[in-house]
Amino acid sequence: MASSYPTSIRPSATEIKNGQLTPQNLETTIHSLYHDGLVVVENAVPHAALDRLNEKMVRDAYALQSRKENSPYNYNRGNIQQDPPPVKDYFDPGIFLNPIATQITNTALGPRPKWTFCSGNTAMRPTADCPPTSQPVHSDADFDHPTHPFAYVVNIPLIEMTPENGSTEIWLGTHIDSGLHVQEGQHGERASGRIKLDELEKRRAIRPPCQPVVPKGAIVLRDLRLWHAGVGNQADQVRVMLAMIHFAPWYRNPMRLEFSESVRPIIEKEDYLEVPVDWVTEDEAMSRYLNRAFGNAYDFSQLP
Ligand SMILES: O=C(O)CCC(=O)C(=O)O
Ligand SMILES: [Fe+2]
């Protein structure tokens, strides 16, 4: 039986300094994305940038949580869809335009993938009225989609991610026979993309899921079609995990990002991604980013 645990690579100091993997390490990532639908790249993001963003996003997470039923949660209230602040002060290119993540998606999907989704998933600490609850196993590709790779999620946890604090449960290899035929739930609803229970049991006998320990500074690249689930956080710290999606350059995808004008000079220097953005003022960006209703922050309904 193939291992349930993902392949991790540890780039050398030279690779990190150059923002480029060697051909050998790049081949390993492409091999893992092809066979497992997921790969981990360790030591790729500077810790200071993660700490700064984490402090802000954890504070914001409590504000979102206090909205209870009206918070933008996915499947259950302990797991919140949370955008990072879309302004220069929090826009560290080492996180959002990470060169190694971009090198991998350029190689796997073709030159200049489109970056059109920028958000995060926050696993809240358990509370009396909201105990740790896992999400149903699902695919984020809850719409009719190609059977070949067309999009990768770049997940960046802001702290070390462990089974205790809600490391995402992943089902390696499930991107290969993914599609609406194994899913339940209507596209666009809060609990869409759920994998049918009999399909889960069939798959468990072949290659069961795992919850990997993902060290701080690591990036997880995941095929958008891969089955996974947010797991209840049992720890006393909030776990924020950023989720950026790079779509193949040829994929018909009209989604756009919304950032403050202050981010524009940084984005305009980016040569390896196409980044369609609606620019807004700093004030608009700051007042809007926590007010996306569910189905807006996470809206793939424009996709075919
Ligand atoms: O928070 C996680 O670990 C995963 C969340 C997730 O998969 C989702 O909300 O779609
Ligand atoms: Fe998901």
| Residues 212-258 pLDDT 10s | 999 999 999 999 999 999 999 999 999 999 999 999 999 999 999 99
Report the predicted TM-score, pTM, of the whole model to 2 decimal places: 0.96
Ligand 1 center to residue 79 CA distance, Å? Answer: 7
Contact 123, 260 (CB under 8 A): no
Phi then psi dihedrals of residue 155, to 5 deg? -95, 130
Q: Which of 9-13, 123-127, 208-212 has the lowest mean pLDDT?
A: 123-127
**What's 137's DSSP letter?**
P
Element (H, E) at 242: strand 239-247
- Residue that has been written with the tokens 């009396």 in this structure: 128
Q: For position 68, what pLDDT does the model report? A: 84
* Angle ∠(224,225,227) on CA atoms, nearest 5: 110
- Substitution site in 121, 174, 240 for ligand 1 pocket (most atoms within 8 Å of beta carbon): 121
133 versus 102: the higher-pLDDT residue is 102
Q: How sure is the predictor about 300, in pLDDT bands with cuts at 50, 70 and 90?
A: low
Which residue reads 């989704």 in tokens? 117
Nearest to 92, CA basis, from 118, 63, 122, 59: 118
Pocket test for ligand 1, best of 135, 153, 171, 225 (most atoms within 8 A of CB): 135
State the alpha helices, DSSP H only, in the chain: 13-18, 23-35, 47-65, 93-96, 99-109, 197-206, 264-268, 282-288
Mean pLDDT of the chain: 93
Q: Which residues pair with 159 in a beta bridge?
A: none
Considering every ligand atom, which ligand is closest to the CA of 120? Answer: 1
Q: How far is the CA of 38 from the centre of ligand 2 (A)?
A: 14
What is the reported pLDDT for 293?
A: 58
Reported as a pLDDT band with limits 50, 70 and 90, residue 70 is confident
Nearest to 274 by CA among 301, 251, 293: 251
pLDDT at 188 over 90: no
Biggest CA pair distance of the chain:
53
pLDDT for the residue numbered 301: 58
Distance (angstroms) between ligand 1 centre and the Cα of 167 equals 9
- DSSP label of 124: P
Residue list, ligand 1 pocket, CB within 6 Å: 74, 79, 121, 123, 135, 140, 166, 168, 228, 230, 241
> What pLDDT was estimated at residue 298?
52
Q: Which atom of ligand 1 is nearest to the CA of 166?
A: 3
